[in-house]
C-alpha cells in the first residue's frame, strides 16, 4: 500500500459514513473512520431517527391509554406519565445501537480515529493533531439544524430537535416553527404527552415535497388530533422573558402581526450540510449555493480520490439514502459498480397515522405526461378498520400508456412498513396490474395497496 496509512478514510460515522466504512473493510480495504462525537452513528442514531422513534413509540402507547383508545377494546387503565422512565428508554435505545456500531467497527477492523477531521491536502487529513494519508477519502459529514435568523437556540426554551427530544417536563404550550418532518414528529410526541402544540408553517400546506392530496389529508388529520396549524404564516421574532417565550408571527404574504405565548419553541425549518472546519479548499473542493458538495454519478467529487455521500450532498436528507450511498461508494472505490436509484427513495413521516411516499407525486407525474390514479381508503381495509385505524388512504399513480407505476403515496397507521413493497415494485419496473394481480395476505393493511392498484383500472373490490 506504499506510503498511504489507509486505502479509505471516511469522515463522519453517521449512517452514510459508518456503512461506507464497514462495506469498504468487508471488501478488503484498509479503512478508518473519523468521528468527533463521543459515540458512533451520527445524527440518526444519536439525536435523530432512533431517539425520535423511541419517543414516538412510547408516547403513542401513552396516548392510546390516556385518550380511551385502549378502553374501547376493553382494556381499562389508570394512566400516569413517568417522563424520566420514558426518557430513560430513549437513552437506552441510543446507547444500545451506537454501541452496536462500535462492535461492528471492531468486528470488521475499521479503525475509529477520534476527533475532528480537516483536510491538509488532497489525500491527507488531520485528526487530533495527527496526520493521516489515504488513497481515498469519503466525506460523510452529514448536516445540522438550520438556524432562523434572529432566533437564538438555547436548547432549553428555544430548542432544536435535539433539545426537543430531551425536555424534562411536558411543555404547556410548544410552538413549532416549520411544519415539516421534524416539526410534525416531535410536535406529535409532546401533543400526545399533554402539551398544546401550535405549528407555524411559512407555506400554505405542511410537508413540502410530498404529494398534494397527502399534504391536505395530513393537515386535516393533525387538526383533528388537536394540533393548531398556522399555515401561510411566518415567525418574525422570538423573545424570552423568564421561563417563557413570546413568538411574533405574521401572514407570510404580509399583514398584521400577532404574538403567541409559549414555554417551549422548536425551530425545525430544515437542516444544512456540515462542511465548516473541513478545510475543503485544501482538498480543491468548493460547495454549491446550498452548501452541499456536488458529486458525479459514482459519488466522486471534483478532486480524484475524494468522494462524498449522505446529507452533505444533494438529495433527500434521509438515513436510508445515506446508507445506500455508503454501500455504493465503497463498492465504487473497490472497483465494483455501486449504484443508487435516486428515483426510488421512500420517505416516511412517523406520526400516527404514518405518512409515506415513493417516486413521483401526482403533480410531478402530471407534468411529465398523462397518468392514471387509483385510490383506496384505509376505512375500507378490513384490518385497519378492525384495528381502529381507519384514517388515510393509498394512492397509486401509473403512466396512462404503459401502466408503469410512477409513484405510491400512503397515509395509514403502518404506511412506513407498507411503502417498502411499493419501492420494491417500482425498482422492478412494475405496472399497476403487476401489483393488482399479486396475492396479498389477508387481513393486512397491505391489501390496500393491491386495491389502490386495482383502482387504477377502476376495479377495486371493497369500495
- Give catalytic residue positions: 442
Q: What angle do CA 221, 225, 230 make, to 5 degrees?
A: 75
By the rule CB under 6 A, 17 interacts with ligand FAD: yes
Which residues face 142 on adjacent strands? none
By the rule CB under 6 A, 44 interacts with ligand FAD: yes
Q: CA 396 to CA 284: how far, in whole Å?
A: 45
By the rule CB under 6 A, 52 interacts with ligand FAD: yes
- Chain positions 118 to 147 lying near ligand FAD, rule: CB under 6 A, are 140-143
Nearer to ligand NAI, 58 or 317 (CB): 317
Find the shortest distance in angstroms from Cβ 176 to ligand NAI. 9
Residue 108 vs residues 31, 223, 395, 408: alpha-carbon distances, Å: 9, 48, 42, 37
- Is residue 181 marked as binding? yes
By the rule CB under 6 A, 422 interacts with ligand NAI: no
- Chain positions 109 to 168 lying near ligand NAI, rule: CB under 6 A, are 148
For the chain, the residue count is 463
The residue with cell 413568538 is: 247
Q: CA 382 to CA 138: how far, in whole Å?
A: 48
Residue 13 binds which of ligand FAD, ligand NAI, none (CB < 5-8 A, kind-dependent): ligand FAD
Nearer to ligand FAD, 350 or 376 (CB): 350
- Is residue 388 marked as binding? no
Inter-residue contact 25 to 108 (CB < 8 Å): yes
Nearer to ligand FAD, 318 or 411 (CB): 318
By the rule CB under 6 A, 47 interacts with ligand NAI: no
Task: Give the three cell numbers for residue 286.
Answer: 468548493
Q: Binding residue for ligand NAI (CB under 6 A) from 280, 348, 398, 436?
A: 348
By the rule CB under 6 A, 196 interacts with ligand FAD: no
- Is residue 277 marked as binding? no
**Sign of the four-CA dihedral 319, 321, 184, 417:** negative
Q: Binding residue for ligand FAD (CB under 6 A) from 134, 278, 293, 418?
A: 278
Q: CA 296 to CA 308: how far, in whole Å?
A: 9
Binding mask 250-289 for ligand NAI (x = CB under 6 A): ------------------xxxx------------------
> Which residues 6+ apart lie within 8 Å of 96 measured at CB?
none
Q: CA 255 to CA 328: how far, in whole Å?
A: 50
The residue with cell 411559512 is: 202
- What b/e sequence results for 222-240 when a residue is b if at least 16 CB atoms lie within 10 Å of its CB, and e otherwise? beebebbbbbebbbeebee
Residue 342 vs residues 288, 359, 405, 427: alpha-carbon distances, Å: 20, 9, 16, 10
The residue with cell 452548501 is: 291
Binding mask 350-389 for ligand FAD (x = CB under 6 A): x---------------------------------------
Find the shortest distance in angstroms from Cβ 378 to ligand NAI. 20
Q: Tabulate helix, strand, coil % of the chain (nearest 5).
A: 35, 25, 40
Q: Binding residue for ligand NAI (CB under 6 A) from 58, 349, 371, 448?
A: 349
Binding mask 146-165 for ligand FAD (x = CB under 6 A): ---------------x----
Binding mask 296-325 for ligand NAI (x = CB under 6 A): --------------------xxx-------
- Is residue 403 marked as binding? no
Q: Give, as one character, the DSSP assignment of residue 283.
A: G
Which residue from 32, 37, 180 is spatially nearest to 45, judged by alpha carbons?
37
By the rule CB under 6 A, 55 interacts with ligand FAD: no
- Chain positions 192 to 231 lying near ligand NAI, rule: CB under 6 A, are 200-203, 208
- Is residue 201 marked as binding? yes
Using only C-alpha atoms, what is the Rg of the chain? 23
The residue with cell 398556522 is: 230
Q: Give, as one character, the DSSP assignment of residue 453.
A: H
User: Which residue positions form the known binding site for NAD(+)?
Assistant: 178-185, 201, 270
Q: Which residues bind ligand NAI (CB under 6 A)?
A: 148, 177-183, 185, 200-203, 208, 234-235, 268-271, 316-318, 348-350
User: Which residue positions form the known binding site?
Assistant: 53, 117, 141-143, 178-185, 201, 270, 311, 317-320
Q: Which residues bind ligand FAD (CB under 6 A)?
A: 11-17, 34-37, 42-44, 48-49, 52, 116-117, 140-143, 161, 182, 274, 277-278, 310-311, 317-320, 322, 350
Amino acid at each position: 500500500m506504499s506510503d498511504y496509512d489507509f486505502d479509505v478514510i471516511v469522515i463522519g460515522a453517521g449512517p452514510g459514513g459508518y456503512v461506507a466504512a464497514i462495506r469498504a473493510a468487508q471488501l478488503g480495504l484498509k479503512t478508518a473512520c473519523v468521528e468527533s462525537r463521543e459515540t458512533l452513528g451520527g445524527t440518526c442514531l444519536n439525536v435523530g431517527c432512533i431517539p425520535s422513534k423511541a419517543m414516538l413509540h412510547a408516547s403513542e402507547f401513552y396516548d392510546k391509554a390516556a385518550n380511551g383508545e385502549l378502553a374501547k377494546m376493553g382494556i381499562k387503565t389508570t394512566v400516569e406519565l413517568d417522563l424520566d422512565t420514558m426518557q430513560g428508554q430513549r437513552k437506552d435505545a441510543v446507547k444500545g445501537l451506537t454501541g452496536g456500531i462500535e462492535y461492528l467497527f471492531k468486528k470488521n477492523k475499521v479503525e475509529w480515529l477520534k476527533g475532528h477531521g480537516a483536510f491538509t491536502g488532497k489525500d491527507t487529513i488531520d485528526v487530533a493533531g495527527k496526520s493521516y494519508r489515504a488513497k481515498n477519502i469519503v466525506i460523510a459529514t452529514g448536516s445540522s439544524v438550520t438556524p432562523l435568523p434572529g432566533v437564538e437556540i438555547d436548547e432549553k426554551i428555544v430548542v432544536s430537535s435535539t433539545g426537543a427530544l430531551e425536555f424534562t417536563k411536558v411543555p404547556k404550550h410548544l410552538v413549532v416553527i416549520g411544519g415539516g418532518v421534524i416539526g410534525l414528529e416531535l410536535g406529535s410526541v409532546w401533543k400526545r404527552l399533554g402539551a398544546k402544540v401550535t405549528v407555524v408553517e411559512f407555506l400554505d400546506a405542511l410537508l413540502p415535497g410530498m404529494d398534494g392530496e397527502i399534504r391536505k389529508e395530513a393537515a386535516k388529520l393533525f387538526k383533528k388530533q388537536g394540533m393548531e396549524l398556522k399555515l401561510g404564516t411566518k415567525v418574525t421574532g422570538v423573545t424570552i422573558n423568564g421561563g417563557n417565550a413570546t413568538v411574533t408571527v405574521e401572514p407570510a404574504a404580509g399583514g398584521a402581526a400577532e404574538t403567541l405565548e409559549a414555554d417551549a419553541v422548536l425551530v425545525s425549518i430544515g437542516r444544512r450540510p456540515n462542511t465548516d472546519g473541513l478545510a475543503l479548499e485544501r482538498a480543491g473542493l468548493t460547495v454549491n449555493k446550498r452548501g452541499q458538495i456536488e458529486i458525479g454519478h459514482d459519488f466522486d467529487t471534483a478532486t480524484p480520490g475524494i468522494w462524498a455521500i449522505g446529507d452533505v450532498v444533494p438529495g433527500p436528507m434521509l438515513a436510508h439514502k445515506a446508507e445506500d450511498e455508503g454501500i455504493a461508494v465503497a463498492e465504487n472505490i473497490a472497483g465494483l459498480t455501486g449504484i443508487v436509484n435516486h428515483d426510488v427513495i421512500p420517505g416516511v413521516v412517523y406520526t400516527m397515522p404514518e405518512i409515506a411516499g415513493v417516486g413521483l407525486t401526482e403533480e410531478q407525474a402530471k407534468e411529465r405526461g398523462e397518468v392514471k390514479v387509483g385510490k383506496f381508503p384505509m376505512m375500507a381495509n378490513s384490518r385497519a378498520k378492525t384495528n381502529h385505524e381507519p384514517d388515510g388512504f393509498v394512492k397509486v399513480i401509473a403512466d396512462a400508456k404503459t401502466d408503469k407505476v410512477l409513484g405510491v403515496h400512503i397515509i395509514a397507521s403502518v404506511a412506513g412498513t407498507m411503502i417498502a413493497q411499493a419501492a420494491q415494485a417500482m425498482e422492478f419496473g412494475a405496472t399497476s396490474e403487476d401489483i393488482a394481480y399479486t396475492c396479498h395476505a389477508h387481513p393486512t393493511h397491505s391489501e390496500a395497496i393491491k386495491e389502490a392498484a386495482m383502482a387504477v383500472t377502476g376495479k377495486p373490490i371493497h369500495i
